[in-house]
Structure 1
């Protein structure tokens, strides 16, 4: 069971655990057409099997700094576009990373901004630049057996794009101090004392551990301890991230930790990792505490040699005004140290997504009509980026209330999407739909407007519709449809102009005949 996210902190000593192989290790080079292996041994694949919209674009060779960033996929025709990645793991903890490199691919020197989401949850507002590579990382427990990563246009004329996507399985027990229903958005991950970024294969989960740059107030020291490959902490930092450390300059000095919280105030989750760098003599002791805002915040920490201590803080309300430092105790003879650190901010509760009844109904429409298959991701979420041809309400679990497929080139018979029982309006006009009007329309309890104009429906209006009070049906432009074959009812029908003209002529003629009869009767009395 996950630890309560409101527990203030825990202190965990290193334990030996066997490394479990990752279930999912997907690397997508967006816009690329062929697979290749990079210099680290990571296999990157093209994106054609993950996305059905957008255009492949290339970054000018003079701007590119990595083969993975050479291409991108740009989306210009709809408000939300998504990648769909099957995991076959209905409940697993994953790390998802999305990369963005504008590189002035369009020659306009106008880097766009847009929204990024996953599984219907808002992730970030992406703000790109002409020269820098940006990436965003989230860790969470999936609720379905697939992952959707979507970008959405937020400014007219600024087209969203994506350069690369990585999905990595984590152990379900890792990062377990946060309950399963909340995501962790990575703010910073540091391997203190490292010379270069540590990632795959040194980290089997391919996390990025960046080297830290402390200029004048710390000393970089190597870790001489034999850190075994089978030794992992609860959140499983790689031994490579612990092989170096930084220490304060003197035994009485402190290390200021620049947390760089990029927000006014938010709940955060922080891991600090401490491993003694050398075998201490009998008269030596290294002991310190973590301070927050100049006050003690942790128990006394004595880092073990050949092992590691993880100090974790969960659900701390933090801001850019908070200060953190590592302060030696009065009895410490050696300066404090730190090997690695992870900083996350805790997201809002994960959504369950659009109501499953509506997801089922929309899937039946996408199966029947290939033109609709390119829409993926959650149909309604995040608001306001629903699919272009539906309207959703604002329920916690949203429902589809309008289905609008006017002029989408639909041809053939309609599938049964009666599970979409929250529909109030259906507009299927100006298509080439054939066959009888489905009976299930009459079973939709909330349906108020049904527009079937300018199709090729045949037969009669179903009795279930003709008896539905208050329903407005428009059926003009269906030459094979008999609008007078249904039983009378309070349903309002909108018929074709020819039928309306014929009806008006008959009504006028009937009025003339009645008037003539009345006049003749009057003359007979005279």
Structure 2
């Protein structure tokens, strides 16, 4: 706190006083006029585009149409009941927001770094006829301002903050908290001198709790503009007990270039006690403001002596706050100056253990006059240090919103708060830097027109999905220069032109996956895209080349004929080997990829596998054998067993699927065999076997997968599944995702295998496919699929969540503990207690980043939510697992890009404390398999799932 300067109690010469009063009046008028031109007054809910001038204040009011999205909220009027005091005109109209979690007004044309008073006006007035008093939150940008609690339908509520704006605009957002429909009547913004209210700065704002004018002669008048050039609202304080006397003067009380500049109209009145021995005691409520939001309170007390005291008189008093003496120094007391606008305020925020603020003024023993006070202001201090999304990303996505007139609830900051991230966006959060936009999904968003140039300004975006819209024109080469972009989906649009060179280069080096199928006018053949004149010249050259080649071919044919006649025995042996080339054109990304699948005879498979000697494994289809082709390439041969319950249908399904898909994280098919009753598929060989073997401890040297290897395997598996969901046409649902169907090569790179149970689905059917059979493996089957017989992409997500839990824990999908229990329930029980060490595979010896493990566990449990709508998409999983991998790069907390480690929620290291669950009954189905321990568990137990999920990050 600050000790006030000594105030002179002697009278000023009258001439000097008159001159000072005239000067003050002139200054007030100049200040008021200069501020008026920068005032912003908004009547929210006023219909039309035309504003008005308020007769009372002479201030100009504008409609809020230019400050908010056209489709946001609805306009209403208030019908004032008889007997209600006359209201300012701006309070008669209301804009309410029944839709959307967050709705915002954006006020622009501000000066960055300057201090402003921002005020929201709220009067319910039963505008909707429901007589339901709402409670909702109010935000300044990304920082929570206050909670608006309407307790009286015809009582006006004002929310005021003094804040330094960081940019040239500010957003005032209303957040629906589920306790009624948010609404607003008016918004006022007033510029302040930067020296005023010094505790309001770049990192904290002041939220008004009380601003009282004490001792007014007319208690029905509220002082504001033009009496206060900053349009602060000074509420008259009425002494219901009539224990205080009132002092007033008609002479101006000028402010003396201080930190608050209380207006003369306020300082011309004061309250005092009848006797010098009596105390002034004011009790004001602090409890109306949420205690967990504030950094403390500040008090501003305004004093001025209004009487010319005799030379032998003294007005001097002590100031107490909740019983604690406030002044320090020789006298520990305050003496107001005659017609001198003085103040006493907190030099730093103070805390209060009580919900009340009690101010006590006691005369000192020397004082011959009782204490006085003219006005008081009480503020709570809130933090404004929370940083919004990266400004470049905000600018780009806002321009994109405007270019396409996005009708989604895209309001406020794109990434903060995390509970209202813009629909279709995924953001990345770090401790010391602003959030960035890493993924945008605007598929099926009715976008039309050209590709916005603003997409090229999203420097941090990794995944951009603009598929299934009506985009026209060419693909801008500038998009290929986005440094972080790894996937761009432009399929199912109306684009034309050719693939730009920048994209071709990135596709060639493997840094970008471009998807552009079903753009009929898009030229993808480099030769066909050339001008006709160039094509005609090349045609002549090609014809000449063909003639030469034809002659050479004929000569070679004659030579071969002669050789073959001399080698009839060899020719007969070669004729036994029937080779058939099945060619499939698979459009993946930018290239047309030809897959030539060799057809083997059963005798060839017998030779390749050395009489089916080495067994690699066994599945529902049959045994898998190791083989070596003529050129030394190792393969895996999956031979259908005659006793297998998977027959010709599954064989054809897997063969057809593998013929038309190609991805680095999907097992590649080399060929097939359909020789009489023998059926087999020939794959690339994965020497490290399946993931289940490694989790169970296949390594004979006693080693195990590191945490980084586990995360890498999870990410690569997710990439393969994401390709099945979004990169195939039609998309595919695997239906049997499990650790035994994830294979590893010598570099431990993961590839998804076994597509015999996969199903295609239509993207126009919400990614569901109807079936009449339940397939899959116990422990991995989606309970929603089990109940509805409709598998979806989220069924794969559920199974993948089980895989993640296996990678974290090192345990199988079904445990015996000692009774059968699913890994989901087993992990939930321990995570709910914060027992991360009891969940993580102990064989890793603590060699992992705990933040990365927590985040991965959270992802796994979200994947295994009972309701599929609450599960993330596989595209989201790829993004989130990349972030987990970054966290796990360096156990010291800094990865290779010097990014801070994920720290979880601010309240502690365990984001699952307070985690709830509910139970749901599993149906008893055999999942197309022989009954196992899981069936026993299903009949004895109920499986839990998350209610409201782990704490937000």
Q: Give the alignment's TM-score, normalised by structure 2.
A: 0.48
The structural deviation recorded for 1:165 is 0.6
Question: How far apart in 2 are the matches of 1:28 and 1:248?
Answer: 42
After superposition, the C-alpha distances for 1:14-62 in whole angstroms (9 at most, x for unaligned) are 9998443215211111111342223232222222222222221222343
2:224 is equivalent to residue 207 of structure 1:
no
Q: Does residue 1:301 correspond to 2:306, yes or no?
A: no
> How far apart are residue 285 of structure 1 and its match?
0.9
- Which position in structure 2 is the counterpart of 1:521? none
Contact 2:202/2:384 (8 A) holds in 1: no
When structure 1 is superposed on structure 2, of 317-326 and 425-434 the one drifting more is 317-326
Q: Output the CA distance in 2 between the equivalents of 1:178 and 1:511.
A: 73
Partner of 2:38: 24
Secondary structure at the aligned position of 1:81 is classed as strand
The 5-angstrom pairing of residues 180-259 of structure 1 reads 180-194=202-216, 195=219, 196-216=221-241, 218-224=243-249, 226-228=251-253, 233-259=258-284
Unaligned residue ranges in structure 1 (runs of 5+)? 1-7, 517-526
* Structure-to-structure mapping, 1:78-93, within 5 angstroms: 78-93=100-115
Shift of 1:471: 5.1
Does the CA contact (< 8 Å) of 1:441 and 1:465 recur in 2?
A: no
1:392 counterpart residue number:
427
CA shift, 1:191, in A, is: 0.7
Equivalence for 2:51 = 35
Encode CA deviations 1:310-333: one digit per residue, 9 max, x unaligned.
111133332262643112111111
Segment drifting more, 362-371 vs 89-98: 362-371
Which of 43, 55, 63 lines up with 1:46 in the alignment? 63
Alignment CA distance shift 1:319-1:295 (3 Å): closer
The residue that corresponds to 1:62 in the other structure is: 81
String of CA shifts for 1:116-143, please: whole Å, max 9, x gaps: 1123322122222433221100111222
**Alignment partner, residue 883 of structure 2:** none
Q: CA 1:427–1:153 in 2, change beyond 3 Å: closer, same or farther?
A: farther
Higher share in helix:
2
Alignment of 1:412 with 2:449, yes or no, is yes
Deviates more, 1:254-263 or 1:363-372: 363-372
CA deviation after TM superposition for structure 1 residue 464, in Å:
4.3
Give the structure with the higher percent strand.
1
Q: Which moved more, 1:188-197 or 1:395-404?
A: 395-404
CA pair 334-383 structure 1, distance change in 2 beyond 3 A? farther
| Separation in structure 2 between the aligned mates of residue 432 and residue 257 of structure 1, nearest angstrom | 66
Asked whether the 8 Å contact 1:87–1:147 carries over to 2, the reply is no
Choose 1 or 2 for highest CA Rg: 2
Match of 1:137 in 2: 160
Partner Cα distance (1:43, 1:12) in 2: 40
Counterpart among 156, 159, 171 of residue 148 in structure 1 = 171
Seen in structure 2, the aligned counterparts of structure 1 residues 259 and 333 have a Cα distance that, compared at 3 Å, is same
Aligned length: 499
Does the 8 A contact of 2:209 with 2:286 survive in 1? yes
The equivalent position to 1:278 in structure 2, one of 307, 327, 335, is 307
Tell me, yes or no, if the aligned pair for 1:84 and 1:376 is still in contact at 8 Å: no
Residue of structure 2 in register with 1:124 after alignment: 146
Tell me the distance in 2 between the aligned counterparts of 1:505 and 1:210. 75
What SS class does the counterpart of residue 440 from structure 2 fall into? strand
2:125 corresponds in structure 1 to 103
Q: Is the 8 A contact 2:254 2:341 kept in 1?
A: no
Native 8 Å contact 2:507 2:514 kept in 1: no
**Contact 2:104-2:174 within 8 A present in 1 as well:** yes
Task: Report what 2:507 is aligned to.
Answer: 466
Find the aligned partners of 1:428 and 1:414 in 2 and give their Cα distance. 9
**Deviation string, structure 1 residues 270-324 (Cα, Å, up to 9, x no partner):** 1101111211112211101211332321142111111122111133332262643
Contact 1:13–1:309 (CA<8 Å) still a contact in 2?
no
Counterpart residue number, 1:268 = 297
Question: What is the TM-score normalised by the length of structure 1?
Answer: 0.84
Q: Where does the alignment leave 5 or more consecutive residues of structure 2 unmatched?
A: 8-19, 528-586, 596-652, 661-669, 677-953
What do the CA deviations read for 1:60-110 (whole angstroms, capped 9, x no partner)? 343885232221112234332221222342232111100112222222222
**Greater relative contact order, per chain length (Cα 8 Å cut-off, separation 6+):** 1
Distance 1:274 1:232 in 2: 15
Partner of 2:604: none
CA contact (8 A) 2:255 2:340 kept: no
| Inter-CA distance 118–107: structure 2 relative to 1 (3 Å threshold) | same
